[in-house]
Amino acid sequence: MELERFKELHTRFFGKELPEEVLQSEEYEAYEAAIHENEACYNWAIVEKLRSKGFDSQNYCCLMMADKVYESLDSEGDIKYDDPEVIINKWDEGFYGIPVHNGSATMVVINYCPWCGTKLSK
Ligand SMILES: [Zn+2]
């Protein structure tokens, strides 16, 4: 899908309660597929989302990391410790870790980004 076409669909579909017939439509399916299969569309959608939330993605090695760190925070900007959806944490001290969901605040510190391989500076 062309990025321009994707942007158009994104404006129509994103963040809205969509009726079942829209969710079943070919247009919506193509939009969903583009998010997962088209890197340009995916990247654009992530940047758009983070920008609309006021989250600065500039300081991250890649968009995947920025998005996953964003997803790890609650509306106050604090780390969500008990959420099994959270797959990465970033601490104020500047290190990153993978949370172990065993009911405690255990985590495994990582030195490289799991998505782009960049060395994570401390
Ligand atoms: Zn990265």
Q: Find the helix or strand (DSSP H, E) in which 98 lies.
A: strand 96-99
For ligand 1, the distance from its centroid to the CA atom of residue 57, given in whole angstroms, is 11
Do 116 and 62 share a structural domain?
yes
Residue that terminates a domain, selected from 23, 39, 54 = 54
Tell me the mean pLDDT in the region 40-68. 93
pLDDT tens-digit map of 59-77: 899 999 999 999 999 989 8
Are both 61 and 106 inside the same structural domain? yes
pLDDT digits (tens, 9 = 90+) for 71-121: 999 989 899 988 889 999 998 888 999 999 887 778 899 999 999 999 997
Which tens digit of pLDDT belongs to each residue from 10-36? 999 998 899 999 999 999 999 999 999
Output the CA 27–ligand 1 centroid distance in Å. 31
Phi and psi angles of residue 29, each rounded to the nearest 5 degrees, phi first = -60, -40
Q: Which of 38, 54, 70 is the last residue of a domain?
A: 54
- On the question of pLDDT at 122 being above 70, the answer is no
Distance, CA 65 to ligand 1 centroid (Å)?
A: 5
Quick one: 50 and 86 in the same domain?
Answer: no
Domain region containing 65: 57-122
Rounded distance, CA 57 to CA 51, Å? 8
Asked if residue 62 and residue 99 are part of one domain, the reply reads yes
Same domain, residue pair 99 and 43:
no
77 and 40 in one domain?
A: no
